[in-house]
Amino acid sequence: MKTHRYLQLVALCVATLCLPSLHAAAPAKSIAAQLQPFVEKGEMAGAVALVASKDKVLAVEAVGFADVAAKRPMKTDALFWIASQSKPITGVALMMLVDEGKLSLDDAVEKYLPEFKELTVVIGKEAPRKPAHPITVREVMCHTSGMPFKSAAESPTLDGLSLRDAVLSYAKTPLNAEPGTKYQYSNAGINTGARLIEVIAKQSYESFMDERLFHPLGMKDTTFWLNKEQITRLATPHKPNAAKTALEATTISQLIYPLDDRKKRYPMPAGGLFSTAADVAKLCQMVLNGGELNGKRYLSAAAVKQMTSRQTPASLTGYGVGWSTGGTSFGHGGALATNMSIDTQSGLITVWLVQHAGYIGDGGKAQGVFNQAAKAQFAPPPVKP
């Protein structure tokens, strides 16, 4: 009896000691699990969500469908039109030439593109006149040049003109604000910056991007023209139906189809790229690492700091050299709700890839849920004073 009682006491002590583990917090739900309700409610088609540090991918998860009607599952290697996320990538390329001393952000664009010497400004009903000063490289790359979003020649799509011809059309289009006085989001400005790359590097913009950036970084799926295999991995764009009760497939109205056509379609530096979460993460890691990745330097630390810092006047929207800036983070979004963000305080990179021209219900809140989950799972705890 004593032995039996002793064993009971031992068992009770062991159970008591183990009790805290029985009540330990349950492991955090995966990012995909937290996003799944948006898919189940039909509010979002699907997404690829990636979290990385400067040297490691911490999580990459796919949820939902790449094509709702076909029930094609979303996969982590899906391709997306990243649209205006192309802008900071063009900014990186231009800063390579700044690093090499081949141009300055304070240079006048007309120094390299003489067609801009005839540029005029028309404000309201005023007669055309010369701008107060020639537009600068900095101004075209941070949306303060006074250039409109596009020229009249870029219609009905934005990829139907060669970069040379598109930029010639900008030089003939009057500015609608004095340079440096107004923030006005402008594809024309970023495309002009890309044309500077062509002229100064003496090679096509797209070959410069492939040779100097995409191939060395291992961004094997980042392209202006999808090949046949990549098209099979392309996520279908979705939009709400007319009744706003369900999602339906749509097309990318800004681009010419088929998307692998190299005869009618041209590179559009301000918004023409397709990519994957893994590729976008590599670019972001290089930038977060101060311009270096896997032992290869692409930009100086000084160039990265300048590129990702506010280049606009304090009274205007914060924007760097192709990058949106604000607080401790910088990044960029795209027309179909894609986004990438680099937070220097937490050291986290987040990449959010979807193809949505609008959502159903609360679908637009899915990115916020992803950002919160990424921070909760991977951000380091705050440093105690």
**Domain harbouring 262, CATH code:** 3.40.710.10
The answer to the question of residue 62 being in a domain is yes
- SS3 at position 112: coil
Q: What are phi and psi of 94, to 5 degrees?
A: -65, -40
The pLDDT tens digits for 332-379 are 999 999 999 999 999 999 999 999 999 999 999 999 999 999 999 999
The answer to the question of residue 353 being in a domain is yes
Higher-pLDDT residue of 383 and 149 is 149
Q: What pLDDT shows up at residue 380? A: 87
Task: Give the pLDDT band (50/70/90) at residue 29.
Answer: confident
The answer to the question of residue 290 being in a domain is yes
125 and 67 housed in the same domain:
no
208 and 338 housed in the same domain:
yes
184 and 230 housed in the same domain:
no
Distances (CA, A) of 354 to 134, 149, 277: 39, 24, 10
Share of the chain above pLDDT 70, in %: 92
244 and 267 housed in the same domain:
yes
The pLDDT tens digits for 116-142 are 999 999 999 999 999 999 999 999 999
The answer to the question of residue 1 being in a domain is no
**Upstream peptide bond of 382 is cis (omega within 30 degrees of 0):** no
Q: What pLDDT shows up at residue 14? A: 38
The answer to the question of residue 55 being in a domain is yes
Domain boundary among 201, 227, 258: 201
Domain boundary among 159, 184, 201: 201
52 neighbors 281 (Cβ within 8 angstroms): yes
- SS3 at position 136: strand
212 and 166 housed in the same domain:
no
300 and 207 housed in the same domain:
yes
Mean pLDDT of the chain, nearest integer: 93
The span from the CA of 13 to the CA of 19, in Å, is 10
Share of the chain above pLDDT 90, in %: 90
367 and 221 housed in the same domain:
yes
**Burial class (CB within 10 angstroms; exposed 0-12, middle 13-18, buried 19+) of 99:** middle
Q: What pLDDT shows up at residue 97? A: 98
Kindly tell me if the per-residue pLDDT of 167 is higher than 50: yes
Task: Give the pLDDT band (50/70/90) at residue 4.
Answer: very low
Kindly tell me if the per-residue pLDDT of 9 is higher than 90: no
188 and 218 housed in the same domain:
no
Higher-pLDDT residue of 288 and 19 is 288
53 closest CA partner among 339, 301, 350, 349: 349
Kindly tell me if the per-residue pLDDT of 221 is higher than 70: yes
> Six-digit token pair at 265?
């379609």
245 and 317 housed in the same domain:
yes
190 and 207 housed in the same domain:
no
174 and 132 housed in the same domain:
yes
Kindly tell me if the per-residue pLDDT of 24 is higher than 80: no
Q: What DSSP character marks residue 235? A: P
Q: What pLDDT shows up at residue 18? A: 42
- Output the pTM of the full model: 0.91
Domain boundary among 150, 171, 201: 201
The pLDDT tens digits for 264-298 are 999 999 999 999 999 999 999 999 999 999 999 99
Pairing of strands 238-240, 292-293: unpaired
Kindly tell me if the per-residue pLDDT of 11 is higher than 90: no
The span from the CA of 188 to the CA of 169, in Å, is 9
Kindly tell me if the per-residue pLDDT of 326 is higher than 50: yes
Kindly tell me if the per-residue pLDDT of 84 is higher than 60: yes
The answer to the question of residue 82 being in a domain is yes
Q: What pLDDT shows up at residue 85? A: 98
Instruction: Look at the chain and report how many structural domains it folds into.
Output: 2
The answer to the question of residue 308 being in a domain is yes
Distance of CA 359 to the CA centre of its chain: 19
The parent domain of residue 337 ranges over 31-89+203-378
51 closest CA partner among 307, 289, 277, 382: 277
332 and 258 housed in the same domain:
yes
The answer to the question of residue 6 being in a domain is no
